[in-house]
Chain A
Amino acid sequence: MKVLAHSYVCPKGVKLNGEPVFDTQAEENPLKSAYQQLGVEYPKFYKMDVLSKMAFIGTELLLPFFPAGTDLENDLSLIFANTSSSQHTDNLFVDSYEKLNNPSPSLFVYTLPNIVTGELCIRHKWYGENCFFIEEQFNPKNYAAWAQSGFSKGNALCLCGWVEAKTNGEQECFLFLLSPSDKTEHTIEIELSTLIKQYRNE
C-alpha cells in the first residue's frame, strides 16, 4: 500500500501534500473563501454541511494525483471516519424544531455522516464502495486494514478521509489517497500518524 497524495482542510487554511495552498486565517467564512479560491463552479457547494464542504475542497485538490488508467467509476472505494458523526448538523436540526418550531428538511438530510461520501460520489460520478465509521480518534491502523480488505476484493484505489466538525467548533478534514503496493500496512500506519501530526502542528 502506498500514500499517493494527501490534503488537509481546516479553518486556518488548506494544504496539499504538506504545502500551504490557501490561507483562510483572516477570513470570516474560511470554507467559502477556499471554495472561491479553488475556482471550481459547483453551486451545490453552498447548500452542503460543513463536513461535506471540507471534503469537497480537499478532494478537488487531490484529483490531479488520481492515477490515469484506473476505473474510478467502479474501482475507487471511499473510507471515511470521524468521532462526532453529524452532530454539528444534528444540533442545528434540533434547533430548527425546538427554537424555530419548523423542522428543516434541508438540515435533516445532512444529519447522517455518510452524506459526505454521497456528495463526493455525486460530484465525481463514483459508483464504488463506501463506508463511514465512527471512531474515538484518528486510527491509522484501521484505515490501513480497511483499505487492504478493499484491495483484496478488487478495488484499485481508496480515498480515505478523517472529516470532523466538533460541537466545540474544532474542524478538520484530512484526506489521503491509497493505492496497492509492496509497502506494508505498518509502514502506512506510521506515515499517516506522522502526517496528521504535522498538519495539526502537534
Chain B
Amino acid sequence: MNKSVYIHYLSLVTPLGNTVEQHLEAFKTGTSGIRMTEHAGFQGTRLPLAKRTEITANRYDNLLREALENVHITLTGKTAVIVSSTKGNLDLLPGDTFSSTHAIINQFFPEAPVVIISNACISGVIAINTAADYLLSDTYDQVLVIGIDAVSEFVSYGFQSLFALSGEACKPFDKNRNGTTLGEGCGIVLVSNQKLHDHAVVYKGGSSSNDANHISGPSRTGEGLVRSIEKTFKRSGLNASDIDFISAHGTATVFNDEMESIAFGRTQLNEVPLNSMKGYFGHTLGAAGILETIMSIVSMEENLLFPNIGFSETGTSVPLNIIQKLESKELKTVLKTASGFGGGNASLILQKEG
C-alpha cells in the first residue's frame, strides 16, 4: 500500500464499562463481563450472558446511542460511516431491522453516508478492511467503523437450538470448552488517512476467504482461515515471523477452536502469543471484530498481553501459545482474525509506526 491508513479507537461500550480505561482495568485484572442470567434462554432457562445491565429496554438502539455519545471528535473532510452488525435491531421484526441504525447515526452525523455490512461474525474485520479500501481509493478521507450487536431472545434461542452455548462462562481453546457465551457491545474506531494522535496504529492489510465447506460448521482443515491469513501476509508484505500477538476469534465451541489451531499451525503461527477475548466480552457477533481490534490496539499501546480468560489446559490438536497471565511484551505487529457462519474467515494486520 502506498498510502498510510491509521486506526484510532473512539468508543467502547460493553458490560465492562463505557470507557477504554475501564476496559483496560478489567483486562489487567482478568475481569469477565459474563454473568449467569435467569430466564435468558428458551422456556426460561438460565444462561451465562455478557449483558450491559445498565440498559433495560431497546438494547440495540441504546447501545448505539451510548457509544455515539462518547465520540468526542470533530470530523473534517469526506467522511463515511460503516456499521458492522449481524442482526441490527431485532425488536423491529417483522419490519426492517436496520431502519433505526440509519436514523440514529443520522442524528449524530447528518452528512455522512451510512454503509451497513452484515456478514456474520467476520463483519467487524471486513468492515475495517472495507474502510481501508475507501481510503485507498480516495473515496473518503476517513471512515467511522461501528461494530454492534445486542443480546436478544432470537439469537439466544437460535444458538441453543444448535447446541452451541456453554452452560457456564465460555472457555476459549480450553480442553473442557463446550460452547460459546453470547454477549453485546458497541465499539467505534476511526479509520483515517491522517494520524490524529500518538496512539494510532497503522493498518497494514487485510483480506477474507470462504471455507467453501459448510454454512454453519467450520472447515476441519482451517482452509479459509489459512487462505485469508496468507493473503493478508501477501498484501501487507509481512510474514508469520513478524507477528508479535494474535487476537484470535476463539468462540469456545469444540469445532471452531480446533479449526483455528489447525489454521495457525499451518501458517506457522502456533507459537505466537494468542488470546480470544470471548471470556471477557462473550461472543458479540457483528461487534466482535471491532471490540477485539480496539483491545488489541490497547494491548499495543500498553505493551501488555492480556490473559485468555477460561483457559487452563491445552485442548486443541495443534497446541497454541495461549496467554495465561498478564505479561509485558513489546508489541509492534498484531494479527486479528475472525471466522463465522456462512464459511467466512477474515484477517487484518495492525502495526505501530516507526
Where the two chains meet, the residues of B that have a C-beta atom closer than 8 Å to any C-beta of A are 42, 86-88, 90, 93-98, 102, 115-120, 126, 130, 133-134, 136-137, 139, 153-154, 157-162, 207-216, 223-224, 227, 235, 341-344
**Contacts A97-B42, A118-B342, A127-B210 hold; do A90 and B97 have CB atoms under 8 A apart?**
yes
A126 contacts B by Cβ under 8 Å:
yes
**Contacts A108-B162, A118-B210 hold; do A133 and B137 have CB atoms under 8 A apart?**
no
Q: Is the CB of A152 within 8 A of B115?
A: no
Q: Please name 8 pairs of A and B residues whose Cβ atoms are closer than 8 Å in the assembled complex, sorted by A.
A: A85-B97, A103-B160, A114-B341, A118-B210, A122-B215, A125-B212, A127-B212, A129-B207
A136 to B113 alpha-carbon distance, docked (Å)? 11
Task: Name the distance in Å between A178's Cβ and chain B's nearest Cβ.
Answer: 15
Which residues in B have their C-beta under 8 angstroms from that of A103?
A: 42, 157-158, 160-161
Task: Name the distance in Å between B117's Cβ and chain A's nearest Cβ.
Answer: 6
A153 to B137 alpha-carbon distance, docked (Å)? 11
A154 to B231 alpha-carbon distance, docked (Å)? 10
Q: Which of A111, A142, A154 has the most CB of B within 10 A?
A: A111
Q: Is the CB of A115 within 8 A of B224?
A: no
Name the CB-closest residue of B to A133. B117
Other-chain contact of B227, A74, A111, A115, A154 (Cβ < 8 Å): A74
**Contacts A103-B42, A114-B120, A153-B235 hold; do A131 and B97 have CB atoms under 8 A apart?**
no
Which residues in A have their C-beta under 8 angstroms from that of B98?
A: 85, 134
A105 to B165 alpha-carbon distance, docked (Å)? 13
Which residues in B have their C-beta under 8 angstroms from that of A83?
A: 96
Which residues in A have their C-beta under 8 angstroms from that of B214?
A: 122
Other-chain contact of B210, A94, A112, A121, A134 (Cβ < 8 Å): A121
Which residues in A have their C-beta under 8 angstroms from that of B95?
A: 167
Task: Name the distance in Å between A82's Cβ and chain B's nearest Cβ.
Answer: 9
Name the CB-closest residue of B to A47. B215
Name the CB-closest residue of B to A125. B212
**Contacts A74-B227, A93-B154, A114-B344 hold; do A105 and B119 have CB atoms under 8 A apart?**
no
Q: Is the CB of B341 within 8 A of A118?
A: yes
Q: Is the CB of A145 within 8 A of B137?
A: yes
Which residues in B have their C-beta under 8 angstroms from that of A125?
A: 212
Q: Is the CB of A131 within 8 A of B208?
A: yes
Those 6 A-B pairs whose CB atoms lie nearest each other, nearest first: A118-B342, A108-B158, A149-B133, A134-B116, A121-B210, A103-B161
A59 contacts B by Cβ under 8 Å:
no
Which residues in B have their C-beta under 8 angstroms from that of A93?
A: 154, 158
A45 to B27 alpha-carbon distance, docked (Å)? 46
Which residues in A have their C-beta under 8 angstroms from that of B235?
A: 153-154
Which residues in B have their C-beta under 8 angstroms from that of A130?
A: 119, 208, 210, 342, 344
A-B interface pairs (CB < 8 A), number: 146
A124-144 interface (Cβ within 8 A of B): 124-136, 142
A105 to B154 alpha-carbon distance, docked (Å)? 12
A179 contacts B by Cβ under 8 Å:
no
Which residues in A have their C-beta under 8 angstroms from that of B157?
A: 97, 103, 108
Task: Name the distance in Å between B253's Cβ and chain A's nearest Cβ.
Answer: 14
A96 to B93 alpha-carbon distance, docked (Å)? 14
A142 to B223 alpha-carbon distance, docked (Å)? 30
Which residues in B have their C-beta under 8 angstroms from that of A119?
A: 215
**Contacts A118-B341, A127-B209, A148-B137 hold; do A113 and B161 have CB atoms under 8 A apart?**
no
Name the CB-closest residue of B to A88. B94
Which residues in A have their C-beta under 8 angstroms from that of B93?
A: 87, 90-91, 94
Q: Which of B118, B134, B215, B216 has the most CB of A within 10 A?
A: B215
Other-chain contact of A94, B137, B154, B216, B227 (Cβ < 8 Å): B154
Other-chain contact of B116, A111, A135, A148, A152 (Cβ < 8 Å): A135
A104 contacts B by Cβ under 8 Å:
yes
Which residues in A have their C-beta under 8 angstroms from that of B119?
A: 112-114, 130-132
Which residues in A have their C-beta under 8 angstroms from that of B159?
A: 108
A112 to B342 alpha-carbon distance, docked (Å)? 8
A39 to B215 alpha-carbon distance, docked (Å)? 24
Other-chain contact of A109, B136, B160, B162, B211 (Cβ < 8 Å): B162
Q: Is the CB of B209 within 8 A of A115?
A: no
Q: Is the CB of A134 within 8 A of B118?
A: yes
Name the CB-closest residue of B to A97. B157
**Contacts A85-B97, A127-B223, A133-B117 hold; do A152 and B137 have CB atoms under 8 A apart?**
yes
A78 to B210 alpha-carbon distance, docked (Å)? 10
